[in-house]
Amino acid sequence: MARYIDANVLIKDIEQSKANNNHNNSIASQTHNAEHRHFIKMVLDQPTADVVEVEKVAEILADVTGASPCDFVGNEWLVSCCESVGHCCQKSDIDCWEQYLKHFGNKKEQCNENTR
């Protein structure tokens, strides 16, 4: 599972670590500072995204639709992807929406393999 890191917090921690420069030697001190500038640049160069928890999105979808994703035409693939025992839509709508969100991107490849 992916771990999402708050880039702003990481940069703040790097800057605080940079302030803890215990090197008395000017060359070592300069190297220390240069390394921290490099770390900050590496973090800033990485793509970032706003992340919303799947559980929260599933709750919203269940609330807005008042239904399970299995109730919508075209979502028959979901049955073969469910990790729940039996049919996922026999559980709560929220659980079923979580499965839908988890597998949606792979539905054609992964889920069709499960039915072969």
Residue-range definition of the domain harbouring residue 29: 7-45
Three-state DSSP class for 45?
helix
- Is residue 34 situated within a structural domain? yes
> Residue 85 has what pLDDT?
43
Average pLDDT of adjacent 10-residue blocks, the chain of 116 residues: 73 86 83 88 80 80 84 74 58 79 66 50
> Residue 86 has what pLDDT?
53
> Residue 25 has what pLDDT?
78
Distance from C-alpha of 111 to C-alpha of 116, rounded to nearest angstrom: 9
Q: How many other C-beta atoms lie within 10 A of the C-beta of residue 90?
A: 13
> Residue 105 has what pLDDT?
67
Whether residue 15 sits in one domain with residue 41: yes
Whether residue 61 sits in one domain with residue 30: no
> Residue 77 has what pLDDT?
73
Question: Do residues 29 and 23 make contact, with C-beta atoms less than 8 angstroms apart?
Answer: yes
Whether residue 58 sits in one domain with residue 38: no
Is the pTM higher than 0.75? The answer reads no
> Residue 64 has what pLDDT?
87
- Is residue 73 situated within a structural domain? yes
Cβ-count burial of 34 within 10 angstroms (0-12 exposed, 13-18 middle, 19+ buried)? exposed
> Residue 68 has what pLDDT?
80
> Residue 91 has what pLDDT?
63
> Residue 115 has what pLDDT?
44
Per the structure, the count of domains in the chain is 2
Whether residue 63 sits in one domain with residue 31: no
